[in-house]
Structure 1
């Protein structure tokens, strides 16, 4: 692992203003976020704050909030978010301490669904020559290689079932090489990765949950068993 804890300090803040109004952000300020496994999944409903968290973690590590690798910055020099500029890390290993001590030593990649293809194009992957999903997989095959911190925001958005399985294989190989992953996701397939730490984000803030106790897993099980039980509430 590279980092064992992320935290941020604020002398004062208004809980009515974003992002301090988001429960998981307030808990990050109060207690920090401890990483207990090489792969951490953040799950929760839309608006729960999981994407806010992963973007801030990426920025705190020196990755561009637009997406891309450790040695690439977006052309507009987009500034860090108000939370990202305050994120700090405790290193987990001597390698992590070296990365924390020198920006040039940091390795990693931030993959976000909205800007992935643009980031890949700027890094020479020519995603216009392949499908959206293949462009994502190109990043996993070509950029998720070195020990470092890899942050992802809903990578399953462009991936089929079998491509998600391939992604899990890449993540397994990455952590075997010394990499660490933090991923926001809605996918019960991804979160089933053996040994991963799963943190459910919501009105409660953040809490660790076993895979088979996740709300999203329960909903998918129920839906696949009887779609009509859900559809009757949304269809005329």
Structure 2
């Protein structure tokens, strides 16, 4: 493990102002988020705050909020978010060494919107391949060293088979000493054995088993009988 607990260090805040109005952010204020496994998936509906959360966690670790690796300041002049600059970590010994020295820090923040541009700037030339292959280039070439790897919906550009390949990369990464925090809508990714799943929403944050996830239930029912859903949205 690299980090074991994330929390917010803030003396006062306005409950009705963003980001403090987001329920999962208030969870960071109340007790923080503990990491109990090398892979943590954050799952929730659009607008639940999971992307806000993973971006702030990446920033708190010193990764660029716009995406990229520990050794590339892709948007170095972009200020940290209000939440990102207030994130603090309780870290494992290896994590404390990384947080204490910029040269020792290892990791990558992969966000769907800027991943290909960030990879291009780091010499991967992903525009010469498909969108999905560009994503996989990051996993094959940048997700190697022990460190903290934060991802925001990496499945967005990936096929079913590519998502399975991604799971293999994640598994190998954590075997090599890495830690992964991933926001996702994917029932395929969240099925990774041993992963911790945190569901975010109006309730804040809570740990759930894979089979208890609302997204898993919806996909099961949709694949069993699509018409039960489609009749509500199609004329």
**TM value normalised by structure 1:** 0.98
Rounded to whole Å, the distance in 2 between the matches of 1:106 and 1:188 is 31
Displaced runs of 4 or more, over 4 A: none
Matched with 1:202 is 201
Q: In 1, are the aligned partners of 2:64 and 2:76 still within 8 Å (CA)?
A: no
Matched with 1:103 is 102
Rounded to whole Å, the distance in 1 between the matches of 2:39 and 2:150 is 10
Rounded to whole Å, the distance in 1 between the matches of 2:192 and 2:179 is 14
- Unaligned 5+ segments in structure 1 are none
Rounded to whole Å, the distance in 2 between the matches of 1:197 and 1:23 is 20
- Unaligned 5+ segments in structure 2 are none
Q: CA deviation at 1:7?
A: 0.7
Secondary structure, in 3 states, of the residue corresponding to 2:140? helix
Q: CA deviation at 1:74?
A: 2.1
Matched with 1:18 is 18
Query: How many pairs align?
Result: 235
Matched with 1:188 is 187
Rounded to whole Å, the distance in 1 between the matches of 2:11 and 2:3 is 24
Cα shift readout 1:29-55 (whole Å, capped 9, x = no counterpart): 110110000000000000000000000
Q: CA deviation at 1:76?
A: 5.7
Cα shift readout 1:172-220 (whole Å, capped 9, x = no counterpart): 0000000000000000000000000000000000000000000000000
Secondary structure, in 3 states, of the residue corresponding to 1:181? strand
- Judged with a 3 Å threshold, the aligned counterparts in structure 2 of structure 1 residues 34 and 76 are, in CA distance, closer, same or farther, namely closer
Map 1:156-175 → 2, pairs under 5 A: 156-175=155-174
Matched with 1:38 is 38
Matched with 1:211 is 210
Matched with 1:142 is 141
Rounded to whole Å, the distance in 2 between the matches of 1:203 and 1:224 is 27
**TM value normalised by structure 2:** 0.99
Q: CA deviation at 1:9?
A: 1.9
